[in-house]
Amino acid sequence: MPIPLPNLDDRTYADLATEAQALIPGLCPEWTNHNASDPGIVLMELLAWLTEMTLYQLNEIPPRNIETFLGLLGWAKPAEPQTVDLDAAVRDTIRAVRQRYRAVTADDFESLVRKQWPQSEEARDLEKTGKTGRIRRLRCIPQRNLAAADHAARKMPAPAHVSVVVLPDTDDPYEDPSPELRGKLHEFFETRRLLTTRHHVVGPSYVPVEVSANLFLREDAPPEATITRAIEALYGFFDPLHGGPERSGWPFGRDVYVSEIYTLFDEIDLVEYVEGVSVKVAEDAGRLQKDGETLVGVALDAHELVDINVTGLAAIDVNGNRYESEALGALGRLVLG
């Protein structure tokens, strides 16, 4: 809906004539004939009519002014003399102004990659070299320099820095973006970033999380098939492309909760109940979240995903026989294939 233009002066001819006639006694007391036949009254009414025309023009914007305003917004007037459709020019110019170009907020960075990057010149140049420019998932993290060589520096706040974490659309969900893709994306943002912003394009960091649990089987459940189902469910749930609660990929920075792993195993129809679910992080034990002595889960940073690893999955049948998962667990993500 267009913004209504203000009425700069809404006085009519009658208002102007009445106002002017009311000033006569104070300005010229000897002028006593205020009839329409008086030459002075005729002249006053003529001036009121001319003033009304001027006020009407004051509330109008001439086409030349509209073209000038559109030019300030980036509209290019046709070089050859022709009739310009100003309504269409206004519509197209406003649409172009509302389209995102400048990357200011984190949402701007993500929106530009989703909507404009696939049609950009940088993406086309990348495709010509045989490298994929398709991006499956991304996350923009402001005030972080995730390209820093030092691990401690990557975790510290970095004012004026912006890091864009991308996951390329490839067959391997754990594949890092190629140097060519990172370079072209950096070039894509170079003309769109704020002058004082330093931007970085990186791949996600994967946190190795070891999972162990005891699965107590139903009477007719085959142990090997149950363990295979459990491993498939586990890797599928934490998959970077298809995992997570919404099955759209494990969310960047979402913590790993032991309670969800309990639920995941308990939903397998071959399993009667689950005990002893445990998670470990070899790299950083400080990530472990606890409620008193109870293990709650594993904390992830905003740019991190999960690299799950089954280390001690056991199936226990109704007779108490225990079947370990070492052989299957060693297959890791290959179980899904």
Dihedral sign from CA coordinates of 305, 311, 317, 320: negative
Domain residue ranges of the chain, discontinuous segments joined by +: 13-58, 63-98, 106-202, 207-336
pTM above 0.85, yes or no: no
Mean predicted confidence (pLDDT) in 1-25: 80
Residue predicted with more confidence, 66 or 337 = 66
Give the closest residue to 302 by CA, choosing from 111, 157, 116: 157
> Above 60 in pLDDT, residue 1?
no
Q: Which pLDDT score is estimated for 82? A: 67
The tokens describing 219, both together, are: 């009477």
- C-alpha to C-alpha distances, 329 to 223, 229, 310, nearest whole angstrom: 14, 12, 5
pLDDT at 232 over 80: yes
**Looking at per-residue confidence, does 252 or 10 come out higher?**
252
Report, as an integer, the average pLDDT of 159-173: 93
Q: Does the structure show a pLDDT above 90 at 274?
A: yes
Residue 60 or residue 28, greater confidence: 28
* In the chain, % of residues over pLDDT 90: 61
CA atoms within 13 A on the CB side of 49: 6
Asked whether residue 115 carries a pLDDT value surpassing 60, the answer given is: yes
Percent pLDDT > 70 in the chain is 93
Whole-number pLDDT of residue 75: 84
pLDDT score for 186 = 96
Q: Residue range 186-208: average pLDDT? A: 95
pLDDT digits (tens, 9 = 90+) for 67-108: 888 888 888 887 766 677 888 888 888 888 788 888 999 999
Comparing 285 with 228, the larger pLDDT belongs to 228
Q: What is the mean pLDDT of residues 204-233?
A: 93
- Given a contact cutoff of 8 angstroms between Cβ atoms, the answer to whether 26 and 54 are in contact is no
Which candidate, 247, 234, 255, places its Cα nearest to that of 304? 255
Residues 264 and 243 sit within 8 Å (Cβ to Cβ)? no
Interval 252-268 mean pLDDT: 96
For residue 159, pLDDT beyond 50: yes
For residue 91, what pLDDT is reported? 87
* pLDDT surpasses 80 at 168: yes
Mean per-residue pLDDT over the chain, rounded: 88
pLDDT at 331: 41
CB 58, CB 8: distance < 8 Å: yes
* pLDDT score, position 328: 46
**Tokens 């002028």 label which residue?**
31
Overall average pLDDT of the 134-157 stretch: 94
Residue 237 has pLDDT above 50, yes or no: yes
The dihedral through the CA atoms of 152, 153, 154, 155 has a sign that is: positive
Closest among 160, 116, 107 to 138, alpha carbons compared: 107
Tokens of 220: 């007719």
Q: Is the pLDDT of residue 55 over 90?
A: no
